[in-house]
Amino acid sequence: MNTSILKAYVDLMASRLRADEGTEEAHFVADQLERVSQLLAFTGARDAAEFHARVEANEMWVKEEEYRRGFHEGRIRGIEECQSVIRGSYGHHN
């Protein structure tokens, strides 16, 4: 199944929910299906397994990037703190 077929199926289900059922719950589910459709287009996945794998890979990348950013910021702040302590104690002998 290619992306366009899977995406078309999800889009069709969302449309049917909106047309056949006017309930708040049906609209909620249709909204969620439309989000899935957007993610299918974004990932280019051809089937459910590929979709899950690509979403998981993207989530891991985001986590790794956040870790690297936090590590870098922590390192910079640690260096700045050390420099501040050294400057503050410069010239002071125990």
Residue 92, SS3?
coil
pTM of the model: 0.61
Residue ranges covered by each domain of the chain: 3-89
The per-residue pLDDT for range 35-77, each reduced to its tens digit, is 999 999 999 988 889 999 999 999 999 999 999 999 999 999 9
- Residue 53: partners with Cβ closer than 8 Å, 6 or more residues away: 45
* pLDDT single digits (tens) 69-88: 999 999 999 999 999 999 88
Q: What local confidence, expressed as pLDDT, does residue 40 receive? A: 92
Give the pLDDT confidence score for residue 87 in this predicted structure: 87
